[in-house]
Amino acid sequence: MKRLQNFLQQLGADEAGARMYALMERLYPICRSITGPGVRQTLDILQEFLPLQRNEVPTGTQVFDWTVPNEWTIRSAWIKDPAGACIVDFKRCNLHVVSYSTPVHGQMSLAELKKHLHSDPEHPDWIPYRTSYYQESWGFCLTHRQLLSLQEGEYEVCIDADLLPGSLSYAECVIQGNSPTEVLLFAHTCHPSLCNDNLSGVVLLASLGQYLRRCHLNWTYRLVFAPATIGSITWLSRNQEGLDRIKAGLIVSVAGDPGSITYKRSRHGSALIDRAAAHIVRQGEKPGTILPFSPWGYDERQFCSPGINLPIGRITRSPNGAYAEYHTSADNLDLVQAGHLQDSLHRIMQILHVLESDRRYQNLAPFGEPQLGRRGLYRMMGGYTNIGALQHALLWVLNYSDGLHSLLDISEMSGLDFPTLQHAAELAEKSGLLSPQPLSLEHCAIPERNLPLHQHTS
């Protein structure tokens, strides 16, 4: 088994981005929603890459303040104009139908039909994505240019769908490390043919899981694939007893567009995951953006709700709603690029590497500065590309290895990057100058969750 650091070093030549893009091409045509056969078909494909534990939660199950809804199954949908020509067809683009539309079949005037049509005037050639999960209705989405071209007359509409008791589907993959302490990684599976939001998160998590399964890990990683909002709420409701094991986590989404990497902090603001992510996102040729927590966005707002309050942040490229193609047919295979997927994967692996490798040391020669040359440390620097940085790193590590400061603490104080400090600490440890302290994912105080939580009702 390799360390995560070894896979980081070879990732550039590993063509992971191309493999993620190929998986996205397979998943793109599938019509997904918060429930239904499209989600199960997606999980079937993901199960080719990861060993998934599948879960079906019946309609009517109480999950905190929510109830698992009826299951939605759609077979076909279309609009025919007064001449009988099919002008809107679900089979050509599954965004044409408002997700969770109730079944309908009948004739109606243009004026009546327009009450059920949605378009985007600002982008007249794109089809918008609309949903109606918790209020029964039906509707179609089309380009605004097409909407303006509709002529008066009688139109035939059909949505061949069921909205009946069934279940909500989610899956998880647990990758065991040396410790039962967990890092949670979450991607939502409910969006239909939208590549950046959020097939990019799904394929990235699948690829990340494959790397983690080949690593020697300190921590246990739990990858969860579930619908947004109702899926994360359902998972939390059914896993309350194990939440105290989760000490860090990331919501992974919008990972394939050209925007720079963006990290949104957890509700804690300065938990270890917040600090590790901020450290990595600020590095590189194209430094990213750090956002404060807000109760708006993706499923971080469920994991960071006051009764749960887990240290889970969100990693994206462009934030949700911050790119023009968001929730439209233009969020397609042309928008996402394999290189952006690979860069996002690399950044997340770097963050996890910090979690895996951050530790405190005790200086075993703390009286004055130890003689580095006598211990061969200068000779051991041979071949290192930035000897000056490594020398500084050795001095910083030796000075602050008092059993109280971790490598990430020292990195934040010194401005030196984490890998250089880690390398310096490993050299000093081999030379007998440092003794590693027990590992912990709780380097900074994390408030207790507000208990008690609601009891799960099955």
CATH code at position 189: 3.40.630.10
pLDDT tens digits along 121-177 = 999 999 999 999 999 999 999 999 999 999 999 999 999 999 999 999 999 999 999
Residue 442 lies in a domain: no
447 — phi, psi (to 5°)?
Answer: -60, 150
On whether both 429 and 301 belong to a single domain, the answer is: no
* Mean pLDDT estimate for the chain: 92
pLDDT tens digits along 407-445 = 999 999 999 999 999 999 999 999 999 999 987 786 543
pLDDT tens digits along 383-393 = 445 557 888 89
**Is a pLDDT exceeding 50 seen at residue 455?**
no
On whether both 339 and 379 belong to a single domain, the answer is: no
Rounded mean pLDDT of 252-257? 97
On whether both 284 and 257 belong to a single domain, the answer is: yes
Write the CA distances from 380 to 48, 391, 431, integer angstroms: 44, 11, 10
pLDDT tens digits along 15-66 = 999 999 999 999 999 999 999 999 999 999 999 999 999 999 999 999 999 9
On whether both 83 and 62 belong to a single domain, the answer is: no
Residue with tokens 């990195």: 411
In this prediction, residue 280 has a pLDDT band, given cuts at 50, 70 and 90, of very high
Rounded mean pLDDT of 107-116? 98
| pLDDT of the residue at 389 | 81
Residue with tokens 């999980």: 43
| pLDDT of the residue at 387 | 59
Give how many domains the chain has, as a whole number: 3
pLDDT tens digits along 309-319 = 999 999 999 99
Residue with tokens 């899926």: 231
On whether both 137 and 204 belong to a single domain, the answer is: no
| pLDDT of the residue at 439 | 79
pLDDT tens digits along 336-374 = 999 999 999 999 999 999 999 999 999 999 999 888 878
Single residue among 100, 131, 164 that ends a domain in this structure = 164
pTM over 0.85: yes
In this prediction, residue 228 has a pLDDT band, given cuts at 50, 70 and 90, of very high
On whether both 142 and 265 belong to a single domain, the answer is: no
> By residue range, what is the domain housing residue 190?
4-68+167-357
